[in-house]
């Protein structure tokens, strides 16, 4: 007989095998990671030579999650490309610094595939082996936040106890396809967690509900000092590799519809940076540059997503801010954006900023760039585009000087794709470009990736007097 919600609550994890519970209570990491950073964060360790930083993980190289593990900066071709690019663009006294944070336990968000482990024949979670669709379990992943590894082990025990069937992409059968874990509290070993099960059904079934409630109750029983995770279900019966079906999320266990990461609310389908500690360093660097201003600022945040950059500036900028206009194409962010706005505006340390206007416009940045940028109410424009870059319309609006000295005097460009950033940079700075580079910095959000660098560039506008001289 299936366990009901009430009986799960009363018996908690009593139906789990004793060996499973012993394993869960004695989770230990069987690895050692070499850590390096140029940051001042007290939670990080520094080494004499950051170029030699490396990752040691028991799942490498079979797991496809990390492309390389040795000399994380020196062996990264994009880092070399960025350094060469900025060598001639920055002032002589400036240096293009690349910040490398923790190389262990840094990933706050993970999407794991659910398949049968061919070695054991049991249901398991992991990643596909390189160049295949064969799953390799990664129970002790070196880069995951400890809570992701921990809660995944709890979930696996529940899945096996209840005989959940892993998805088979050849026959399109099975119950569970993927699981997403979000553990945003990077300064804690045990984080608040949001978990999403991607279930192979067109509607929520009693069995799916039982699995979610059992997992939730087991976590509550095992970790009494921590809140149990919020558990969502995403229903997906597609016959492709799409992980989530859009707008098909349902909260089935727990009460929190959002999870807070760096004080911004995220739903299970929201885009969130996977390395929140390095992202926070990026946000602080942006604020430092803007705090040099004395006048009150009006800010436009294009490609704003859930509002991570704009909300951080609203809360932490010392420079007075009159308004921040968030522009985002996806209507899915509205609910969590409003939640974050209310939380920030109600915050006791928000000071005398109650007159600050925070507005969200749901629209493509490309189609509305001129409307928001070329006005007297835009002093700073922030662009954080997808990998394809800003797009022609946004670049044209940024370079337009038909409004004289109106429009932004500072451009903040945050890029996740150095190739498209370099292309956009040339349009903004060279030839008829209206911008001059002030400062640039790189961040390694994902040390195991060979082609990943986050770039922050601060530009000052060339006013007419500059162009004529």
Q: Which of 164, 59, 53 is nearest to 447 (CA)?
A: 53
Confidence of residue 346 (pLDDT cuts 50, 70, 90): confident
- 52 is a domain residue: no
Confidence of residue 92 (pLDDT cuts 50, 70, 90): low
Helix or strand or coil: residue 34?
coil
| Integer angstrom CA distances of residue 108 from 47, 126, 127 | 24, 16, 16
| Boundary residue ending a domain (242, 266, 290) | 266
Supply the pLDDT for residue 313. Answer: 96
- 21 is a domain residue: no
Looking at residue 212, which CATH number applies to its domain? 2.40.50.1070
Supply the pLDDT for residue 11. Answer: 32
- 82 is a domain residue: no
Supply the pLDDT for residue 229. Answer: 96
What length does the chain have? 469
User: Which two tokens mark 177?
Assistant: 């396809």
| Boundary residue ending a domain (206, 238, 266) | 266
Asked if residues 233 and 200 have their Cβ atoms less than 8 Å apart, the reply is no
Confidence of residue 60 (pLDDT cuts 50, 70, 90): confident
- 39 is a domain residue: no
> Looking at the predicted structure, is the pLDDT value of residue 110 above 50?
yes
Q: How many Cα atoms within 13 Å fall on the side-chain side of residue 287?
A: 20
Percent of the chain with pLDDT over 70: 84
Average pLDDT over residues 75-103: 86
Average pLDDT over residues 21-38: 37
User: Which two tokens mark 460?
Assistant: 């000052």
Asked if residues 384 and 303 have their Cβ atoms less than 8 Å apart, the reply is yes
Beta strand ranges found along 329-426 (DSSP E): 357-362, 380-383, 410-415
Among 8-17, 113-122, 350-359, 376-385, the least confident range: 8-17
- 459 is a domain residue: yes
Beta strand ranges found along 37-168 (DSSP E): 97-100, 109-116, 123-128, 135-137
- 90 is a domain residue: no
The arrangement of strands across the sheet holding 109-116 comes to 135-137, 123-128, 109-116, 176-182, 194-199, 230-235, 249-253
Supply the pLDDT for residue 403. Answer: 55
Give the pairing of strands 410-415 and 380-383.
parallel
> Looking at the predicted structure, is the pLDDT value of residue 108 above 60?
yes
CA dihedral for 434, 325, 282, 146, sign (positive or negative): negative
> Looking at the predicted structure, is the pLDDT value of residue 149 above 90?
yes
Percent of the chain with pLDDT over 90: 65
Q: Find which of 37-46, 53-62, 204-213, 358-367 is predicted with most confidence, using mean pLDDT.
A: 204-213
d(CA 196, CA 371): 38
> Looking at the predicted structure, is the pLDDT value of residue 469 above 60?
no
pTM equals 0.87
Q: Which domain holds residue 437?
A: 276-468
Average pLDDT over residues 239-248: 87
Residues 6+ apart with CB under 8 A from 97: 38, 441, 442
Average pLDDT over residues 173-196: 96
Q: What angle, rounded to 10 degrees, do the helices at 418-429 and 392-399 form?
A: 30
Whether 216 and 293 map to the same domain: the answer is no
| Boundary residue ending a domain (246, 266, 286) | 266
> Looking at the predicted structure, is the pLDDT value of residue 27 above 70?
no
> Looking at the predicted structure, is the pLDDT value of residue 407 above 70?
yes
Confidence of residue 39 (pLDDT cuts 50, 70, 90): very low
- 44 is a domain residue: no
Looking at residue 441, which CATH number applies to its domain? 3.40.50.150
Average pLDDT over residues 421-442: 94
User: Which two tokens mark 404?
Assistant: 């004289």
Supply the pLDDT for residue 162. Answer: 98
Whether 195 and 333 map to the same domain: the answer is no
Supply the pLDDT for residue 90. Answer: 76
Supply the pLDDT for residue 462. Answer: 85
Among 149-163, 254-268, 366-380, 405-419, the least confident range: 366-380
> Looking at the predicted structure, is the pLDDT value of residue 406 above 80?
no
Mean pLDDT, all residues of the chain: 85
Asked if residues 178 and 198 have their Cβ atoms less than 8 Å apart, the reply is yes
Whether 258 and 293 map to the same domain: the answer is no
Asked if residues 281 and 306 have their Cβ atoms less than 8 Å apart, the reply is no
Whether 299 and 363 map to the same domain: the answer is yes
Exposure string for 379-417, b = 16+ CB within 10 A, e = fewer: bbbbbbbbeebbbeebbebbbebeeeeebbbbbbbbbbb
What's the total number of domains in the chain? 2
- 142 is a domain residue: yes
Confidence of residue 431 (pLDDT cuts 50, 70, 90): confident
Give the pairing of strands 123-128 and 135-137.
antiparallel
Average pLDDT over residues 259-284: 95
Among 36-40, 219-223, 399-403, the least confident range: 36-40
| Integer angstrom CA distances of residue 305 from 273, 311, 336, 341, 418 | 11, 11, 10, 14, 20
Whether 245 and 195 map to the same domain: the answer is yes
Supply the pLDDT for residue 414. Answer: 98
Q: Find which of 42-56, 77-91, 131-145, 172-186 is predicted with most confidence, using mean pLDDT.
A: 172-186
Confidence of residue 22 (pLDDT cuts 50, 70, 90): very low
Whether 193 and 326 map to the same domain: the answer is no
Whether 410 and 382 map to the same domain: the answer is yes
Among 10-14, 291-295, 297-301, 318-322, the least confident range: 10-14
Give the number of other Cβ atoms within 10 Å of residue 357's Cβ: 11
Q: What angle, rounded to 10 degrees, do the helices at 308-316 and 276-290 form?
A: 50
Confidence of residue 70 (pLDDT cuts 50, 70, 90): confident
Whether 242 and 290 map to the same domain: the answer is no
Whether 114 and 258 map to the same domain: the answer is yes
Average pLDDT over residues 274-293: 94
Supply the pLDDT for residue 51. Answer: 53
Whether 164 and 235 map to the same domain: the answer is yes
Whether 262 and 281 map to the same domain: the answer is no
Whether 290 and 414 map to the same domain: the answer is yes
């Amino acid at each position: 007989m299936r366990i009901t919600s009430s009986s799960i609550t009363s018996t908690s994890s009593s139906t789990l095998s004793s060996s499973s519970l012993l394993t869960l209570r004695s989770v230990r990491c069987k690895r050692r990671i070499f850590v390096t950073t140029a940051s001042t964060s007290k939670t990080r360790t520094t080494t004499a030579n950051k170029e030699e930083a490396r990752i040691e993980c028991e799942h490498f190289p079979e797991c496809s999650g990390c492309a390389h593990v040795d000399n994380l900066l020196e062996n990264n071709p994009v880092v070399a490309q960025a350094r060469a690019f900025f060598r001639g663009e920055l002032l002589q006294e400036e240096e293009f610094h690349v910040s490398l944070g923790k190389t262990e336990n840094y990933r706050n968000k993970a999407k794991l595939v659910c398949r049968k482990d061919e070695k054991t024949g049991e249901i398991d979670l992991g990643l596909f082996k390189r160049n295949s669709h064969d799953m390799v379990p990664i129970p002790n992943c070196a880069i995951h936040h400890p809570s992701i590894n921990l809660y995944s082990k709890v979930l696996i025990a529940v899945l096996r106890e209840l005989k959940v069937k892993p998805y088979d992409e050849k026959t399109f059968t099975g119950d569970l396809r993927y699981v997403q874990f979000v553990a945003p509290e990077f300064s804690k070993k045990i984080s608040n967690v949001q978990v999403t099960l991607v279930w192979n059904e067109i509607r929520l079934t009693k069995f799916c509900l039982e699995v979610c409630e059992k997992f939730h109750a087991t976590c509550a029983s095992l970790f009494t000092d921590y809140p149990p995770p919020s558990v969502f279900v995403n229903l997906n019966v597609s016959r492709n590799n799409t992980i989530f079906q859009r707008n098909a999320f349902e909260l089935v266990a727990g009460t929190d519809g959002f999870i807070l990461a760096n004080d911004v609310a995220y739903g299970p389908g929201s885009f969130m940076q996977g390395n929140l500690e390095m992202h926070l360093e990026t946000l602080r660097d942006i604020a430092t540059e803007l705090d040099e201003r004395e006048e009150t600022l009006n800010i436009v945040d294009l490609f704003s997503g859930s509002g991570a950059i704009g909300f951080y500036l609203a809360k932490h900028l010392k420079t007075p801010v009159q308004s921040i206009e968030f522009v985002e194409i996806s209507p899915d962010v509205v609910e969590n954006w409003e939640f974050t706005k209310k939380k920030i505006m109600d915050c006791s340390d928000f000071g005398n900023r109650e007159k600050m206007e925070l507005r969200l416009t749901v629209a493509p940045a490309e189609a509305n760039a001129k409307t928001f940028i070329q006005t007297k109410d835009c002093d700073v424009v922030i662009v954080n585009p997808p990998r394809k870059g800003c797009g022609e319309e946004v670049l044209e609006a940024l370079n337009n000087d038909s409004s004289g000295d109106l429009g932004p005097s500072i451009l903040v460009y945050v890029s996740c794709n150095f190739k498209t950033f370099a292309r956009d940079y040339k349009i903004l700075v060279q030839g008829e470009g209206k911008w001059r580079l002030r400062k640039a910095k790189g961040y390694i959000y994902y040390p195991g990736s060979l082609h990943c660098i986050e770039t922050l560039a601060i530009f000052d506008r060339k006013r007419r007097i500059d162009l004529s001289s």
